[in-house]
Chains A and B, each alone.
Chain A
Amino acid sequence: MAERAPPLIVGAGPAGIRAAMTLVAAGLRPIVVDESHACGGQIYRQPLAADGRGAKARYGSEAAKATRLHRDFAALGTGIDYLPNSLLWNLRDGAADILRDGVSRRVSYDGLVLATGATDRVLPIPGWTLPGVFTLGGAQIALKAQGCAIGRRVVFAGSGPLLYLVAWQYMKAGVEVAAVLDAAPLAAKLNLLRALPLAPGIVLRGLRMAAELTLCGTRVVFGADRISIEGEGRVARIVYRNGGREHAIACDGVGYGLNLRPETQAADLAGCAFRFDPRDRAHLPVRDASGRSSVAGVYLAGDGARIAGADAAEAAGERAALALLQDRGLSHDSRRAAALERALAKIDRLRDVLEAAFPCPSHWTPEIADDMLLCRCEEITSGEALRAIRDFSLTEINRLKAVTRIGMGRCQGRMCGAAAAELLAARTHRDISAVGRLRAQAPIKPIPLATSQSVDERQHDPAH
């Protein structure tokens, strides 16, 4: 009998790590492709070089989880075929194209676990492209992976649990956090009371962070509106409206983000069916409770499938791997699978509440001024997009892309796609679900033209 190709896991964050462990425990030797130099994903990202800081300083309250995941992954050793610093740039029908050190290899796989993670969602606000403005995720990575702060006196603005977490981490790192500008009104936070019985630890930790920030002198503002970032050539202050008045705070760094958006290009290229998800305000690959997608042998786990956080990612990665084992005819622990699904369902209910407590301020969309950059890669303004929508009677996001180049640049819409969809929906008076989704094209991220091609199909014998 011909030997079957190994499973492929894309991403080595909490979902990818747990999926790998589960497959290895069942006797498989998966390939794990990781864009980063070391496992952990974004949330448990490891430093490029030792910087003298311990896990506690780096990961705060999540240090134990981070350490355990890093250790567990390292313990897999040669039990997996780990490809760090590697970019999956295309895949289809059991073959993936992976770029590492300038060489692209075509890798055969049998079973695919996509644990591709998420990035910040942003809507353009005045000054959002000024030097000194970072996404919340970017601000966090600077601190975690490089031990750098984005400024000496910083403000964090936007929505989402990450807003408070990053602000608190900066405060703990000794950076002056002048303010947290929360787009949601205090009333939205009352939803957290509903979250209390579901996850008292998480809610109380969040409240404690907010309290500690306040005690340290950080101004915490709910219902901040009309936020704009100002400065000559770089960030100098942030201006917002609250309580019918305009306020200004001097700062030299801003972290900004409106929750997260899943990275779904790999699922799209794999042929997965998509469906609009109201909670994430995005079209997401369809999956069942086990993580099975619409394509046989393709499994989805973690924030790349739907935003649910790191704990859910761990559980979903393991659950998806169990589904892969079952589909491959290998023994798998069905009781464990059921327990994981229960845990995931509980986290899912919590996420519903968190979304209500940290809503995306889509009501900002009509306020996006015509001269504001919408697509940074192609330098397309909101006004240009609106003119194209009007002149060409556009109602669909891929047509908007075709006519304006929005989402056609280096980021392929990963940064601007959500905002473009919001704008198109608002301008055409359609629901965000009705404007379609940007179809993904390879390469998932840019690759150099000098990429050389390896003919090695990577024969996978267990001794390899």
Chain B
Amino acid sequence: MTRRIDCDVAIIGGGLVGSSAALALRGMGLSVTLLDKGFCGAQASGVNYGGVRRQGRPPEQLPLSQRAHAIWPRLQRLIGIDGEFMRSGHLKLARSAADMASLERYAIDVAPFGLDLELVGHNQLRERFGIAGGVIGGSFCPGDGHANPRLVATAFAAAARRAGAEVLENTKVVGATRTFESFTLEAGDVAITARTVINSAGAWADTFARDFGEPVPLERTYPSMVVTEPLDPFLAVNLGIEGGGIYARQVTRGNVVVGGERAMPLDDPDYSRPRSDGVLTIMRRAGELFGRLRHAQAIRFWSGTEATMPDRNPVIGPSATTPGLLHAFGFSGAGFQIAPGVGEVLAELVRDGRTSTPIDAFAITRFPPASQPDDALSSR
């Protein structure tokens, strides 16, 4: 028997964006159904690197990023756990004079946003951060940090559930249509009627956008992560490298998480796995940066399925074809930090039709539908 649910807002995708939107909407007193084809927070929101970082984002993301920045220290109150959030600072290293110049330019460009970036030279890197070898300087953002994505994503969904959202896991939305003033979603043995729909389906969001006549050039990417056995504390900051390479953080328990390279999807594209040569490259680079890591053991590799857009900015905002439909996807491997802010913005958009945070740069209309070949849209 089909169960019927009538609600104000149906959210497709129980990642961090969908879950935080659900929680914010419940705070406004709206009724919410949160749907996930698997488990909430089990995809990119839960298996990403865990960087809580504003530094390095393009200026157009910074107002939203700053909004999220204010949420992170309040997690305990908001979702009942701190998510192992540590305001450790984020240090971005430069390996060449050109990279250092790029960091200096960035610091000037984003000065109005108040990230309090601090440029550090080679000697300081060694004295303050214990980093030597192959780097000439860096840029430090003291307010950034890192957290445990497995906990944060799951806890947002759990908090939304406690706040009264109907959370339906293992419930795949197979059909979404708009009729008169509302939407009808078919999902498993549930039929949901909602005035508003939020498409926060991550790497699966493009199919829903296309169903509403808005094809988008979403691509899937797969990061590679290596985690070591627990080690004595030596890395106090969340570390990145200008121009790419590896990024690394050490969790309270002592494990060092190192990311970089690209993984590969499995036959079932919902799952992906690091490539062996990729993880060996990450391990070698980590050992070059930190001599003590050479003697550590890598205990686990993992990957996830992320959605990225050609201009590396997400899609956030109302649909251009369908009133009542909102999109929020394509965070291009940098969604973890801003997602709680996106949730608040989405809730405002639902309630007020507008938001105090500038999001024009993320409009879906920046991708003209005619320019999208059909085959670019099929999931792979």
Contact = CB atoms under 8 A, between A and B. Distances in A.
A402 B41 CA distance: 10
A104 B299 contact: no
Given A399-B42, A449-B294, A451-B280, A392 B300 contact: no
B296 interface: yes
Given A378-B253, A402-B46, A442-B273, A447 B154 contact: no
Given A449-B287, A449-B296, A442 B154 contact: no
A377 to B, nearest CB: 8
Given A399-B42, A442-B279, A448 B274 contact: no
A271 B267 contact: yes
A69 B296 CA distance: 37
Given A97-B276, A392-B155, A410-B229, A448 B42 contact: no
Given A391-B80, A392-B155, A453-B280, A442 B274 contact: yes
A90 interface: yes
Contact of A447 (B39, B41, B266, B297): B297
Interface string B54-78: 0000000000000000000000000
B266 A402 contact: no
B154 A399 contact: yes
B277 A453 contact: yes
B151 interface: yes
A412 interface: yes
Of B150, B274, B276, B295, the most chain A CB neighbours within 10 A belong to B276
A209 B366 CA distance: 78
A309 interface: no
A299 B273 CA distance: 22
Nearest to A97: B276
B286 interface: yes
A383 interface: no
Nearest to B150: A402
A450 B226 CA distance: 13
Interface residues of B, number: 38
Given A271-B266, A403-B150, A403-B151, A410 B299 contact: yes
B228 interface: yes
A447 B294 CA distance: 11
A205 interface: no
A283 interface: no
Interface string B280-296: 10011011000001111
Interface string B187-216: 000000000000000000000000000000
Interface string B144-175: 00000011001100100100000000000000
A97 B276 CA distance: 7
B363 interface: no
Interface string B228-269: 110000000000000000000000010000000000001100
A453 B275 CA distance: 13
B295 A448 contact: yes
B297 A446 contact: yes
A449 B150 contact: no
Given A392-B154, A399-B39, A402-B42, A443 B299 contact: yes
B298 A447 contact: yes
B158 A441 contact: no
A449 B298 contact: yes
Contacts of A446: 229, 297-299
Contacts of A106: 276-277
Given A449-B228, A450-B294, A442 B299 contact: no
A448 B150 contact: no
Interface string B37-60: 001011000100000000000000
B55 to A, nearest CB: 26
B300 to A, nearest CB: 5
Interface in A394-429: 396, 398-399, 402-403, 405, 408-410, 412
A401 B217 CA distance: 34
Of A92, A378, A439, A442, the most chain B CB neighbours within 10 A belong to A442
Contacts of A452: 284
A377 B228 CA distance: 12
A459 interface: no
Contacts of A402: 41-42, 46, 150, 154
A446 B286 CA distance: 16
A450 B301 CA distance: 15
A393 interface: yes
Contact of B301 (A92, A95, A271, A441): A441
B331 interface: no
Contacts of A92: 273
A409 B298 CA distance: 10
Contacts of A403: 150-151, 154
Contacts of A392: 154-155, 158
A447 B80 CA distance: 36
Nearest to A410: B299
Interface string B121-157: 0000000000000000000000000000011001100
Contacts of B271: 439
Contacts of B277: 106, 453
B302 interface: yes
Contact of B297 (A95, A399, A410, A442): A410
A271 B271 CA distance: 11
A402 B253 CA distance: 15
A400 B1 CA distance: 31
A408 B300 contact: yes
A448 B292 CA distance: 11
Nearest to B281: A453
Interface in A440-464: 441-443, 446-453
Nearest to A448: B297
Interface in A281-296: none
Nearest to A407: B300
Contacts of B266: 271
Given A402-B46, A403-B150, 8 more contacts: A92-B273, A106-B276, A106-B277, A441-B273, A447-B298, A451-B283, A452-B284, A453-B284
6 contacts: A392-B154, A402-B150, A408-B300, A443-B301, A449-B298, A453-B280
Interface of B: 39, 41-42, 46, 80, 150-151, 154-155, 158, 161, 226, 228-229, 253, 266-267, 271, 273-274, 276-277, 279-280, 283-284, 286-287, 293-302
Instruction: Report, nearest first, the 6 A-B pairs whose CB atoms are least far apart.
Output: A446-B297, A402-B150, A450-B294, A449-B283, A97-B276, A453-B280
